[in-house]
Structures are given as C-alpha cells and as structure tokens.
A and B are shown apart, each in its own frame.
Chain A
Amino acid sequence: MEGLAQRISQAMLGQEQATITILSTLLAVQDELGYLAKEAIELVAGFTDSTINDVWAVASFYPNFRFEPPCLHQVEVCWGASCHLVGAMPLMEAVMEACELESEGDREDGRLSLRFNTCLGACAHAPVIAIDHHLMGRQTPETARERIGGLLR
C-alpha cells in the first residue's frame, strides 16, 4: 500500500502546469493509476488544502473518473449524433455481445471494461470505437467483433 501512496504523491507533485486544482490533481492521479483509489481522495484533499467532501464533489461529477482499478483493456463506443445516424446502435449491440457484457461496465475477469462515450471527436469517420484510447473509424459490427475478439483471445 505504501507503493500506492508513493505513486499518488508523485503524480500530484509531477504536474507541470502552474495552476494546480482539485480537478487537475485528480486527473493526474487517474492518469498514473488508471483510477482514483480511496487513498487518493484523502491525499488529494491534503495536497489541495481542501476537504474529502470537496474532492468527492469533483470526482463524482465527471464520469471519466473511475473508482476501481482499471481492466486490462478499455473499449469505448461513441453514441454521438453522427455515429448514431450511421450505425452506432447495431455497433453497440455487437460490441456488448463481443465483450460478453449486458451494458457499460467491467468484465468480472478484469480483461476489459466497456464505456459509452458521448463523442470521441472523430465524427467524419463515424461510427467510431476506441480501444485503449486508440480511435478506430468506420466500424461495422463485424470489424468491431473481430477487434474485441482479438483482445479476449
């Protein structure tokens, strides 16, 4: 556990920009750990001279924060309007099936987590998925199944 506290401290202190806030510090910790550990909330409160309540208020607001250790792979499916019009729904269905998940969330074996993203920002290449933050455009249920199958093989 000491290792975890040390990594959190390094992430907090390693911020290069001049303006350090609760949000910037939480983002730095999540970048390092892939999630916000319980210890992180307390350490961030101390580091930013705020309360645990203040930190929780911010952490619970932004849906990109997670509070469990990350899975091995992160799969995201875009459901913005551009993607919706050109097939995000069948794509989501195929991705959930390939991930063997009923909805957003983590696989119990920790091999991947699935998130629906409001816009991945590559709308001209719709429909888009992202695997481990790597964007992949013009997906079909078949190509997406194949890519996710590759992660689980």
Chain B
Amino acid sequence: MIQVVEEALAQHGAAATVSRVGCIGLCYAEPLLDVTLPGGPRVFYGNVTPAAAAEIIETHVVGGAPVERLAMGYIPGPDGVDSAGGIPETVASLDSHPLRAVETKIALRNAGNIDPGDIYQYVANGGYHALNRALTEMTPEETVEQVNASGLRGRGGAAFPTGTKWRFLAGSNAPVKYILCNCEEGDPGAFNDKAIVESDPHTLIEGILLAGYATGANAGYIFIRHGHDGPIDRAREALIQAKEIGLVGQDIMGSGFNFELEVALTGDSYVAGEESALMEAIEGSRAMPRFRPPFPAQFGLFGKPTNINNVKTLAYVPQIIANGGDWFASIGHEQSKGTVILCLTGDLKYTGMIEVPLGINLRDVLYEAAGGVPDGKSLKLIQSGGPLGGVLGADHVDVVLDFEVLRSAGAILGSGGIIAADEDTCVVDLTRALIAFCQYESCGKCFPCRMGMSHLLEVLERICRLEGTLEDLALMRKVGENMQAGSLCGHGQLGFNPVSSALRYFGDEFEAHIVGRTCPTGVCLKPKFSPALTRR
C-alpha cells in the first residue's frame, strides 16, 4: 500500500510527506489512509484498496478535494472545527464515530497520530517531559508516591497496585535491580500491548525509565515473543534513537541517573508471560514458573531484585507523572482507576481497540461503541480476560467495567481482550477450543495442570461428540479443583475458569449435548482440528 502511495505521489510530482503511523483503533476499517492538506483537517479513508489509494492521491492530494465517496471521517485541523472547510457535509467528524465517541485517551494518546519511528514527534507532543520533571524536580520516593496516589493497578491481568509493587523493589538496597516490561501477550483476542509498542514505543520507554528512577533500578528488558516483528523492530529502533540522544544509558539528561535497556525475545510460549516464567525465558531457559516465595522483588532475574510490569501499566506512567496521581485517580470507578484499553473482536460490527474510562457499562461498549452484532444476529456471550478468563452470557453484560465487578461475575477484565460471540456459537465447542489452547500451552511443570488440562480436553471432546455423561460434569469440577490447588501459576490455578463460567451461564447447553444428545447450534457436528504437537 505504501508503495502504491509513493508511486502515485511520484507520478504526479506531488510534494507530500508519507508517515507510517500506528494503530488509531479503527481496526475494522483497515487499511486506513489519511490525508492532511496544509492547515486543513485530517481526512480518513477506510478499507483502502490500491485503486482507491491511487484515486485519493490524484483527487485529494493533487486536486485538493476529498473523495467524498470513500471518506469515512475527519479530525479537525489546527484551527479547530472551522478548519473542516472544504469537507463535504456528508463526511462527519471522526470523533462522532461510535468507537471514538466513548474514548478517553491516556496511554493511547499518540497512537495513530505520530510516526513511531521518529523520537522527535514524540518529544514534540510532550514526550520525555515527565522524565525530565521526575529527574529534576522529584525524588524517587515522590515518583513512587505519585504512582501510588494514582491508584494505578497492573493491566496485565492481576490488577495488583503498581505503587505497592514499586515500593517492594524500592525497599531493596541491592546494587543491581531490574525493571522488566512484559509484552509477551499471548492472549488470543488481545493485541493492545503490541499496538502500544508499534504505535508509540517511546511512551513505554519513558514509563520504564520512570519505573527505574522511582525504584532505584538501573537496567531493564522489554520482553517480546519472537516472530512478532512489528513490535520488535519498533522497540529496537526506538531504543537506538533514545540512546543516541542520551535518554537511555549513562547520566540521563545530565542527572546522574543511569539505565540500560534492551529487547529480550522468547520463543512461542504462552506461560512465558507469567512473571517468573518470563524471568526464566530471559535467562535463556524453558519458560516454566518458579516457586514463590522468594518473590521477584527479593530474588528475580539472575537472582537480583526485579519488578515486572505489563506494557499498558508502564505506558500510563508518563502521563501520571506529568499530570499528577490525583488527576489519574479522578478518572475511573471505585477501586479501578483510570482507563482500560479494550480489544474488541469476534462477532462485532466495529472490531477495534479503544481506551475507555473504567466504570463504563459493558453493554454500551458492545452495542454502542462496537455497533453490536452484525447481520441482524443477536449476541450470545462475551469471552473476556484471555483463555483463562471466562464467558459472560448476553443477559449479564449490563455491568460496569471494573476489576472487582467483572471478577464477581465470573469473567475477568484481564488484559482487555473482549471477544463477542453471536447466536450461532456453541458454548461447549468454544469451551473445548479454549481448553485446547490451555492444554497446548501448559508448560508441563506442575502435573495437576499438565494432566488436568489434557483430562478436561478429553472430557470436552467427548461431550462435543455427544458421548458425554452427567458424571463428566462432576469429573471436570474435581479436576478443576485439583488444578487450582496444585499449580504454581495462574495457568493451572485459573485454567478451570473457561469451563466453570460456561457451566454457570450455559449449563443447559451442556445438558443438551449430554442428555439430549444434540448440539443446538450444530457446530459440534462439523469437523474440528487441533495442533498435532503439544508439550505433553
């Protein structure tokens, strides 16, 4: 696409700058192309084909008139709404788009708006000012205190208070301490960590540097799965730029603060995203969780005190330091402060990535922002929090997004992935697919998880073949209890969630398969495939 654009520009001899930007969140309409004429609004085109791109260059860039037929919206130029002059009336402001109307952008403020490959675009938008402020005006203790006051909680799934976690590390006077940024992100249905690194890597680097300064750590790693070249390349490129101008390395901004940062890669392993397995992978071993205690803040990477945060958590930190912890705490709901970055996928009209204040109603997110289920079908359930999360029946989506509320409903907010499923979905088949994933990804260290997942999958496959018995349901509960009690990490401890939440909301559908010997949606009668190789 970029090639088509550049060729078309060259052909017309047009003097235009082509910026490669990250994700603005309107994934359903990708590929996106937008055009800004000097002083004018930014006009967006969605689902752009090569032919459409050529037409847009010719008519809009060269001819000066937006292609009304293809335009999906505009963002006002520097002079505000008035600068929408020249935009046909049928083209609406992009801010009225359902996905964008609900948003409050903090961590994603730059995503899709700046060139992630250019550190100066980040700086020009206030970037690294928070770091400068912390290094020149604040002590490390004050920096931790601001994060503590913000009420920020870990966005990787566990929702642990970030300020408390930082205090653990700050309390250690060991000479070598580490900050690890977790971008393993193996949850199917979540891509917000990768999107932040791809779209605005410097906000993450600034967050890591602030974490290092606050806790007295002088080295860190950004941990990404091998093969996810977009985030890997962007993170490495951003690190080179930050090192070149003295923002990473020795004596940062002349303050005497030193911090070394590099990208570490893991092989394919979902459990590598678990904090102690992550450290094993950085050390170059099998990604298997460790016994705790000792906790990472005492004995972490290479045996040194270590703090591990998710990408999203760290991406909030620069704005918290810039605007104060109280500002962040003023957004959100009860004990869930700030915003949440949601990845909306599955059977939705507008799939995408949005940043919304915590406390927003899930129903509004699904039906207003994401436009509901397409093709006139009805919503059956949502699956949230990754494969270890849970499902929520469509009748129960009238809840506010809040860590505690969702947990008590049997689903979890997790990393922000929300997958919607329409009426054609078979819950038993979906549960089987989720457990197939969990079984495939069990690292094998704890036998209740290793064998329990295999056992659950075997039983679910039997129910899908309409050969299950009612005793199978009791058997699964027993296996699930053993997994929860006997596993070192969340993979085994939470691994029964997909089954328990499905049974909670859709017990009758399991009974239809077992007692009625029928799959109401017919999905289970169709062929199914699973990977040939597992870690068994």
Contact of A62 among B30, B189, B229, B269 (CB under 8 A): B269
Q: Which residues does chain B contribute within 8 Å of A82, judged by CB atoms? A: 188-189, 345-346, 417, 419
Check A63 for interface membership: any CB of B closer than 8 A. Answer: yes
CB-based contact B27/A124 at 8 Å: yes
Residue of A nearest to B529 (CB): A92
CB A23 to nearest CB in B, in angstroms, measures: 4
Mask: chain A, 91-122; 1 = CB below 8 Å from B; 0 = not: 01100100000011100000000001011011
Contacts A18-B262, A124-B343 known; A81 to B267 CB distance under 8 Å? no
Check A53 for interface membership: any CB of B closer than 8 A. Answer: no
Q: Which residues does chain B contribute within 8 Å of A48, judged by CB atoms? A: 284
CB-based contact A58/B284 at 8 Å: yes
Cα A90 to Cα B526 in complex, Å, equals: 9
Q: Which residues does chain B contribute within 8 Å of A23, judged by CB atoms? A: 265-267, 281, 284-285
Choose the segment among B81-89, B131-139, B432-440, B512-520 that binds chain A (4+ C-beta atoms closer than 8 Å). Answer: B432-440
CB A153 to nearest CB in B, in angstroms, measures: 22
Contact of A65 among B267, B436, B532 (CB under 8 A): B267
Q: Which residues does chain A contribute within 8 Å of B28, judged by CB atoms? A: 124
Q: Which residues does chain B contribute within 8 Å of A118, judged by CB atoms? A: 186, 188, 268, 270, 437, 440-441
CB-based contact A80/B189 at 8 Å: yes
Contact of A86 among B194, B262, B347, B530 (CB under 8 A): B347
Check A27 for interface membership: any CB of B closer than 8 A. Answer: yes
Q: Which residues does chain A contribute within 8 Å of B387, judged by CB atoms? A: 81
Check A84 for interface membership: any CB of B closer than 8 A. Answer: yes
Check A147 for interface membership: any CB of B closer than 8 A. Answer: no
CB-based contact B282/A64 at 8 Å: no
Mask: chain A, 42-77; 1 = CB below 8 Å from B; 0 = not: 000000100000000110011111000000000000
Cα A60 to Cα B30 in complex, Å, equals: 38
Check B383 for interface membership: any CB of A closer than 8 A. Answer: yes
CB-based contact A122/B281 at 8 Å: no
Q: Which residues does chain A contribute within 8 Å of B30, judged by CB atoms? A: 124-125
CB-based contact A123/B267 at 8 Å: no
CB B353 to nearest CB in A, in angstroms, measures: 7
Q: Which residues does chain B contribute within 8 Å of A80, judged by CB atoms? A: 188-189, 437
Check B111 for interface membership: any CB of A closer than 8 A. Answer: no
Check B421 for interface membership: any CB of A closer than 8 A. Answer: yes
CB B394 to nearest CB in A, in angstroms, measures: 14
CB-based contact A84/B430 at 8 Å: yes
Q: Which residues does chain B contribute within 8 Å of A148, judged by CB atoms? A: none
How many residues in B have their beta carbons less than 8 Å from beta carbons of A? 64
Q: How many inter-chain residue pairs (CB < 8 Å) link A and B? A: 155
CB-based contact B286/A124 at 8 Å: no
CB B335 to nearest CB in A, in angstroms, measures: 28
CB A125 to nearest CB in B, in angstroms, measures: 7
Q: Which residues does chain B contribute within 8 Å of A84, judged by CB atoms? A: 188, 430, 433
CB-based contact A57/B286 at 8 Å: yes
Check B221 for interface membership: any CB of A closer than 8 A. Answer: yes
CB A22 to nearest CB in B, in angstroms, measures: 4
Q: Which residues does chain A contribute within 8 Å of B270, judged by CB atoms? A: 118
CB B82 to nearest CB in A, in angstroms, measures: 34
CB B457 to nearest CB in A, in angstroms, measures: 14
Check A89 for interface membership: any CB of B closer than 8 A. Answer: yes
Cα A65 to Cα B535 in complex, Å, equals: 13
Check B508 for interface membership: any CB of A closer than 8 A. Answer: no
Check B80 for interface membership: any CB of A closer than 8 A. Answer: no
Cα A63 to Cα B532 in complex, Å, equals: 11
Mask: chain B, 257-289; 1 = CB below 8 Å from A; 0 = not: 000101111111110000000000111111100
Contacts A48-B284, A80-B437, A123-B191 known; A85 to B425 CB distance under 8 Å? yes
Cα A38 to Cα B335 in complex, Å, equals: 54
Q: Which residues does chain A contribute within 8 Å of B268, judged by CB atoms? A: 62-64, 118
Contact of A126 among B221, B228, B281, B346 (CB under 8 A): B346
Check B227 for interface membership: any CB of A closer than 8 A. Answer: yes
Check B15 for interface membership: any CB of A closer than 8 A. Answer: no
Check B69 for interface membership: any CB of A closer than 8 A. Answer: no
Q: Which residues does chain A contribute within 8 Å of B396, judged by CB atoms? A: none
CB A41 to nearest CB in B, in angstroms, measures: 14
Check A21 for interface membership: any CB of B closer than 8 A. Answer: yes
Q: Which residues does chain B contribute within 8 Å of A19, judged by CB atoms? A: 221, 262, 264, 282
Q: Which residues does chain B contribute within 8 Å of A62, judged by CB atoms? A: 266-269, 287
CB-based contact A61/B535 at 8 Å: yes
CB-based contact B266/A116 at 8 Å: no
Residue of B nearest to A93 (CB): B527
Cα A83 to Cα B260 in complex, Å, equals: 38
CB-based contact B27/A81 at 8 Å: no
Contacts A79-B531, A85-B346, A123-B190 known; A61 to B430 CB distance under 8 Å? no
CB A29 to nearest CB in B, in angstroms, measures: 12
Most chain B beta-carbon neighbours within 10 Å: one of A61, A65, A89, A122:
A61
Contacts A61-B286, A96-B529, A123-B188 known; A81 to B437 CB distance under 8 Å? yes
Check A17 for interface membership: any CB of B closer than 8 A. Answer: yes
Q: Which residues does chain B contribute within 8 Å of A122, judged by CB atoms? A: 191
Q: Residues of A with Cβ closer than 8 Å to B?
A: 17-19, 21-27, 48, 57-58, 61-65, 78-86, 89-90, 92-93, 96, 103-105, 116, 118-119, 121-126, 133
26 A-B pairs (CB sep. < 8 Å): A17-B262, A21-B285, A23-B267, A23-B281, A24-B284, A27-B267, A48-B284, A57-B286, A61-B267, A61-B286, A61-B443, A79-B433, A79-B437, A81-B383, A81-B387, A81-B437, A82-B346, A82-B419, A105-B532, A116-B529, A116-B532, A118-B270, A119-B188, A124-B343, A124-B353, A125-B30
Q: Residues of B with Cβ closer than 8 Å to A?
A: 27-28, 30, 185-191, 194, 221, 226-229, 260, 262-270, 281-287, 343-347, 351-353, 383, 387, 417, 419, 421, 425, 430, 433-434, 436-437, 440-441, 443, 526-533, 535
Minimum-distance CB pairs A-B, first 7: A21-B284, A80-B188, A62-B267, A124-B27, A124-B351, A82-B345, A23-B284
Please name 10 further chain A to chain B contacts, defined as beta carbons within 8 Å, in addition to the given A124-B345, A125-B27, sorted by A numbering: A25-B284, A63-B268, A79-B436, A85-B346, A90-B526, A103-B529, A118-B186, A124-B30, A126-B351, A133-B229
